[in-house]
Homo-oligomer: A and B are copies of this chain.
Amino acid sequence: MEIPSPPSGVRFIDDYLVYLLARAAHQVSSEFHEQLRRRGISVAVWRVLSALLGSEGETVTGLAETCLLQQPTMTKLLDRMTRSGLVARSPDQRDRRVVRIALTGTGRALAEDLAVAAKAHEAELLARHPPAEAEAIKNLLRAILARHDRPRRG
């Protein structure tokens, strides 16, 4: 038998933009994250690997911002990824405060491998929508990002 659902008539969150976005992000990524889990790769590690694809030489702070993590969290994550041979740190020439992060050979191979799977998954996702809608999704998201980007340096 089924546990009778609570009177889930008008939940606040069902019409709350921030929740809809969070839920959509979660749902859409869950299938791929499941693939990662099966391979023993954490979401955080995947984020760093993918952030470095096409843009190596990122700084620790830059990676943290890209991966939506705090800087100390990124420092510790990079410690682990360095230990497991996926990335390497190197000092910046011009500014000795800065540490540049690069993929190792192993790291790049894994990143590219996962990226293929990620793109395949994305194609599947988009295929579930009518073409016009699929088209609209990324554009709308970019519009949101553009309008709500916090003031950035540069």
A37 touches B (CB below 8 Å): no
CA distance A17 to B118 in the complex (A): 10
* Chain B minimum-CB-distance residue to A95: B3
A56 touches B (CB below 8 Å): yes
Number of copies of chain A assembled together: 2
Q: A54 touching B11 by the CB < 8 A rule? A: yes
Q: B137 touching A98 by the CB < 8 A rule? A: no
Q: A21 touching B17 by the CB < 8 A rule? A: no
Contact with B along A5-24 (1 / 0, CB 8 A): 11111111101111111111
Contact with B along A110-151 (1 / 0, CB 8 A): 000001001101100110110001001110111111011110
Q: B50 touching A12 by the CB < 8 A rule? A: yes
Select one of B126, B136, B149 contacting A140, CB under 8 A: B136
- A154/B5 contact (C-beta < 8 A), A11-B55, A24-B144, A25-B24 known: yes
Within 8 Å CB of A122, what residues of B? 16-18
A80 touches B (CB below 8 Å): no
* Chain B minimum-CB-distance residue to A137: B140
- A17/B138 contact (C-beta < 8 A), A23-B145, A53-B12, A133-B143 known: yes
Q: A11 touching B51 by the CB < 8 A rule? A: yes
Select one of B7, B32, B138, B153 contacting A20, CB under 8 A: B138
